[in-house]
Structure 1
Amino acid sequence: MRSLRFALVAASLIAGFANASPADPKNGAEYTTLSSPQPVQATGKKVEVIEFFAYHCPACNAMEPTLNAWVKKQGDNIVLRRIHLPFQGANDPEAHLFLTLEAMGKLEEYHGKVFRAVHVERQRLMKDDAIIDWAVKSGLDRAKFLEAWNSFGVQTKLRRLQAVAEAYKASSTPTIVIDGKYVVSPATVAQANKIQGMNEALSATTQVMDALVAKAAKTK
């Protein structure tokens, strides 16, 4: 599992970033810029923010309340998109669940419930059968869930996920992409600022995200 690796903040791996600051992030330190920026879906003055995440990722679970609070604070400045990284390949069951909930219009209601099932209730939602069983026990209609699960739209999006992740250079979670070009993660921010605590890293990451949203907004 390639989730956030806070071991990377060890002193031997963070030398050279002593002048970094979350409020004044440096390209190549706290964030990187894609050599091939990707098209954005946000319109007008809004800045697109994408979170690459995975339901089994402990750091994604830890970041969820921080990210939700940050999104609320940003208000109309941004549009948030979530993309589940397909760690298990083209048929990744967790990504399949995410896309199915999205297609059913149930994502807002069930997104947090999936995190709770995995990280609090310790349920193993890593296989199709286990996920379908959980969905039904959690109140979703089995027929409607399977209809969305097997739909052409969901299947097509699922097959495209790996190519999408590669285009954004997203290989670990959580990874945030702002305006289709600025890539940041708690791991890189922790490295750059010699932060070892998760809460501190998440807080610093939102500061970097603030700065990058402001930077992107200037070009709108």
Structure 2
Amino acid sequence: MLKRLPILCVALLALAACGHAGDNGTAPPPAPAATGTTMTTPAATPTPAASAASASASTAAAAGTSTVAAPAAAATTAAATPAVDDSQFVEGKDYYRIDPAQPKYIPTGKVEVVEVFSYACPACWQFHGTMDRIEKSLPADAVTHYLPSSMRPDENWVVYQRAYFAAEALGVRAKTQDAMFDATWKTGETATYDLSTGQPKPKDAWPTIEDIAKFYAKFGVDPKEFVAVANSFSINTKMKQADDMQKAYGVNETPNIVVDGKYRVSPHDVGSTQRTIDVIQWLVAKEAAGK
């Protein structure tokens, strides 16, 4: 009989993929340092190089080199239309087309960038610093949303998904996003993994929604209110909607980035932090240009 191995979470230069819905895993996640505060492979949250200039900025720069004065109205029109080099990235390698295209996760008039993630995914923890950079680098006509995944119930992902939506409903999600990752993967306060061994804790030692409520209490949330909201019908509905949307997007590993319900990017497949940032910025410019 095959022995069940720990789940698959292979980290490659901080651009790994966790999850793979339905798999049982073939290798353990990277083991944390002996102190139990950081993971040894890969290193702590990456600090990617500064993002490449957007395609729209390139257009403006190119316009600035012209020696022929252009009418003011024409210059304004050119600046508002991003330039997109369709040969820069390769479909099926750097990004994947979602066919058929799906609705936006949260409908807005802006180009939507969605990260499918879990606080319980070590690769997502390694990537969250990069996601912060992506969010800050997006133009004014783009918006970032987060879709918490529950694809690994055997690793307690469901409780983290529930906690995310409760924190969002109570207005503390944005200011606790990074802190929740650190509590799960640095201090171990909300960890399902034993950070000293890199292996999941026994199931009876997994954090419950009540345990996680104590973390959010540090940010001014009443623990009883947090638990009540987390277990409410509205949160159950949001969780079901998130699961359905993840399936519609074809996401089977985390982290994954979805642009406007049309394109999917796997940092693991792209292979480098900077190129991941570049391809997402390019897809956003592509959408903004209507291509």
Where does 1:181-200 land on structure 2 (aligned, <5 Å)?
A: 181-190=262-271
1:51-101 deviation per Cα after TM superposition (whole angstroms, max 9, x unaligned): 001112222222222221222121313111100111334981010110110
Contact 2:124 2:255 in 1 (8 A): yes
2-side partners of 1:42 and 1:150: how far apart?
A: 25
Residue of structure 2 equivalent to 1:70? 134
- State the partner residue of 1:209: 280
2:237 is matched with which residue? 156
d(CA) in 1 for partners of 2:114 and 2:178? 17
Unaligned runs of 5+ in 1: 10-22, 191-200
- TM-score w.r.t. the length of structure 1 is 0.79
Task: Tell me the TM-score normalised to structure 2 length.
Answer: 0.61
Residue identity matched to 2:119 = Y
Task: Look up the match of 2:187.
Answer: 121
Matches of 1:182 and 1:2, distance apart in 2: 25
Aligned residue pairs total 196
**TM-aligned CA deviation for residue 219 of structure 1:** 1.2
> Larger C-alpha radius of gyration, 1 or 2?
2
Q: Deviations over 1:91-119 (max 9, x none)?
A: 81010110110111110121111111011
Where does structure 2 lack aligned partners over 5 or more consecutive residues? 1-6, 17-86, 193-205
The Cα shift of 1:136 comes to: 3.7
Structure with larger RCO (C-alpha < 8 A, sep 6+): 1
Contact 2:151 2:157 in 1 (8 A): no
- RMSD, matched Cα: 2.6
Aligned to 1:165: 246
Distance in 2 of aligned mates of 1:162 and 1:147: 21
Identical aligned residues as a percent: 30
Within 1, Cα distance between the matches of 2:250 and 2:286? 21
- Matching of residues 1-220 of structure 1 within 5 Å: 1-3=7-9, 5-6=11-12, 24-40=88-104, 41-44=106-109, 46-89=110-153, 92-123=158-189, 124-125=191-192, 126-128=206-208, 129-136=210-217, 139-190=220-271, 201-219=272-290
Runs of 4+ in 1 over 4 A off after TM superposition: 1-5
Considering fraction of residues, name the structure with more helix: 1
State whether residues 25 and 208 of structure 1, in contact with CA within 8 Å, keep that contact through their aligned partners in structure 2: yes
Partners of 2:8 and 2:239 lie apart in 1 by 19
Deviation at 1:168, TM superposition (A): 0.7
Equivalent residue letter for 1:6: L
